[in-house]
Amino acid sequence: MRGTGKGRIFIVGTGPGSIGHITPYAMKALRESDVIAGYGTYLDLIRELIKDKEVVSTGMTRETERCRRAVELAATGRTVSVVSGGDPGIYAMAGLVLEIVKKQSEDSRTDIHIEVVPGISALNACASRLGAPLMHDFASISLSDRLTPWELIEKRLDAAAAADFAIVLYNPKSRGRTRQINRAVEIISRHRLPETPVGIVKGAMRENEKIIITDLGNMLEHDIDMQTTVIIGNSNTFSWNSLMITPRGYESKYSI
Amino acid sequence: MRGTGKGRIFIVGTGPGSIGHITPYAMKALRESDVIAGYGTYLDLIRELIKDKEVVSTGMTRETERCRRAVELAATGRTVSVVSGGDPGIYAMAGLVLEIVKKQSEDSRTDIHIEVVPGISALNACASRLGAPLMHDFASISLSDRLTPWELIEKRLDAAAAADFAIVLYNPKSRGRTRQINRAVEIISRHRLPETPVGIVKGAMRENEKIIITDLGNMLEHDIDMQTTVIIGNSNTFSWNSLMITPRGYESKYSI
């Protein structure tokens, strides 16, 4: 994507968690890399592909340190892949790496070739497992208030629900963050009926995959955690035969 | 995804338009199929892969007819892939096919195995080409009012802009639909500065790819058409070195 120096960084999405959903282009980037940087769990999936590579791996919370190290290595002329599960461009590593490159190039005029290689994100993967919940306009909202004021998240939930967007909830709940999902359901319920279909997908396309179709009134009875993505239908979404379907238009303007 | 009969339908996403971004799983579905149904342009991309297959191809506007034919063929016990560019689950074929299967199974108790195979959608592809514009919450809105009342689209534009979502615009303009994008900019500008970064991507990852980074105040001076996806930053998005970056949080809670 620019850069005349020898060093290269690929920011690579490995998709939902099965080798069959990693694009050939992402595979190529990994193969061409001298160094692979990533969080342990994501690297496990591609262990076989990267067995002859140098690996920079740290825990989930030390991602800034890991990305900084990746950029430093690229600045020495090496080819480095920073690996994200899903799509690096959606709530993942692309932004952080670019911010670090920006800072380092201001400090030291580093000149690195950077390329973001997209992957199948959780929203694409989970939607596919549920049927067709995202056929119409949708909003994607993370319930993590670690780096975002909770008031803004509430405002977004309310706005998205009021304007009849289908809603994808990322990071719905973690061990230390349990109330947010309850509050989200409360806010969305101001604008949407308890019967509104809701899909809950845990570990999409992994061995432990679990898919639940429920509704807004009952969704909190189900198991939701950090590995879960939740999709809430719009006012036209219906469920049929364990599938969740959002029609592609309103007003029955089309006949099937 | 259920179905005990012999017939199968894969609803397959072929990604943004280069073979390197089609997942191995999607390739496998195409290989296993007897029949491929799709719009001409999308089939061109995979011509080599499907040369020994029976093909059901019709123009873009006759997609309902094409999907109905695909479902009928699957009901006779054949394996059929319905092909979408991008991700079939985002403004594409998944919903229509499932609605037709539902209708036909109610009429005649058809029993088909259905599987949606996700692909890299325009929003993932375009975001990757622009840098990292979707690192935080975003809303996806189609400006096509063919099947959706324009008032609802306006309401969504206003809600998304007011709640500081990054905004992805699908179908921004076509030959017969030219005013909508002007109106969208007007509405979004109520809540966002003219300096807000905007990315315009035409033909992402195709030979004719064209990437423009501009801002809300100047975006209408650029070429926008049906092949274009537009991404408008949130209040924190900045551009640097022909890249568009949305930080992953607010309040500088993290240091790089």
pLDDT tens track for B166-178:
999 999 999 888 9
Average pLDDT over residues B202-218: 96
Q: What is the pLDDT of residue A143?
A: 97
Q: Which residues contact B104 (CB under 8 A, 6 or more apart)?
A: B71, B72, B75, B110
Rounded to whole angstroms, how far apart are CA atoms A94 and A87?
A: 9
Query: CA of B220, closest CA in chain A: separation in Å?
Result: 22
Question: Would the CB atoms of B24 and A20 count as touching at under 8 Å?
Answer: yes
Q: Strand B228-232 and strand B197-202: pairing?
A: antiparallel
Find the mean pLDDT for residues B114-126: 97
Mean pLDDT, range A98-121, rounded to an integer: 88
Confidence of residue A17 (pLDDT cuts 50, 70, 90): confident
pLDDT at B160: 98
What ipTM did this prediction achieve? Answer: 0.95
Confidence (pLDDT) at B220? 97
For B116, nearest residue in chain A (alpha carbons):
A128
Q: Tell me the pLDDT of chain B averaged across its residues.
A: 92
Average pLDDT over every residue of B217-224? 97
Helix (H) or strand (E) holding B206: none
**Joined tokens for residue B211:** 């990437």
Measure the CA–CA gap between B129 and B125, rounded to whole angstroms. 6
- Smallest CA–CA distance, residue B76 to chain A, in Å, is 20
Q: List Cβ neighbours of B256 (8 Å cut-off, separation of 6 or more).
A: A64, A68, A96, A99, A100, A103
Q: What is the mean pLDDT of residues A173-195?
A: 95
Domains of chain B and CATH, by start: 8-120 (3.40.1010.10), 123-245 (3.30.950.10)
Neighbours of B4 (CB within 10 A): 7
Q: How far is CA A229 from CA A124, A139, A225, in A?
A: 11, 13, 8
Question: pLDDT value at position A155?
Answer: 98
CA distance B80 to A123: 25
Is the CB of residue B148 less than 8 Å away from at least one CB of chain A?
yes
Per-residue model confidence (pLDDT) at position A42: 79
Q: Do A94 and B246 touch (CB under 8 A)?
A: no
Q: Is B3 on the interface with A (CB under 8 A)?
A: no
Please give the average per-residue pLDDT across A60-87, as a whole number.
91
**Residue A129 C-alpha, separation from nearest chain B C-alpha, in angstroms:** 7
Radius of gyration of chain A (CA): 20
**Rounded mean pLDDT of B51-78?**
88
Q: Examine the pLDDT at A16 and tell me if it is beyond 60.
A: yes
Cα dihedral A48, A50, A55, A61 in deg (nearest 10): -60
Residue B164 has pLDDT above 90, yes or no: yes
- Whole-number Å distance between alpha carbons of A8 and A30: 12
Cα B173 to Cα A1: distance, rounded to the nearest angstrom: 27
pLDDT of residue A256: 60
Q: Place B2 in a pLDDT band, splitting at 50, 70 and 90.
A: low
User: Exposed, middle or buried: residue A120 (CB in 10 Å: 0-12, 13-18, 19+)?
Assistant: buried
What pLDDT sits at residue B60?
60
Query: What single letter denotes the amino acid at residue B192?
Result: R
Query: What three-state secondary structure class fits B9?
Result: strand
Nearest-CB residue to B64 (from A121, A156, A256):
A256
> What is the rounded average pLDDT for all residues in chain A?
92
User: Does residue B137 have a pLDDT over 80?
Assistant: yes
Q: What is the SS3 assignment for A25?
A: helix
Q: Which of residues 19-48 of B touch A (CB under 8 A)?
A: 19-25, 28
Q: How far is A149 from chain B (nearest CA, A)?
A: 7
Of A72, A85, A79, nearest in space to A43 by CA = A85
DSSP states along A9-24: EEEEE-BTS-GGGS-H
Q: Give the amino acid at A190.
A: R
pLDDT of residue A5: 66
Q: Are strands A79-84 and A113-117 parallel, antiparallel or unpaired?
A: unpaired
* Cβ partners under 8 Å of residue A217, min gap 6: A189, A194, A195
Contact A135 B91 (CB under 8 A): yes
Q: How far is CA A2 from CA B54, B55, B130, B131, in A?
A: 43, 41, 12, 11
pLDDT in tens, A186-235: 999 999 999 999 999 999 999 899 999 999 999 999 999 999 999 999 99
Q: What is the CA radius of gyration of chain B?
A: 20
What is the spatial distance between Cα A28 and Cα A23, in angstroms, rounded to a whole number?
Answer: 9
The three-class DSSP label of residue B86 is strand
pLDDT at B250 over 90: no
Find the helix packing angle between B150-162 and A150-162, rounded to 10°.
180
Which 8-state DSSP code applies to residue B91?
Answer: S
Which of the two residues, A1 and A105, has the higher pLDDT score? A105
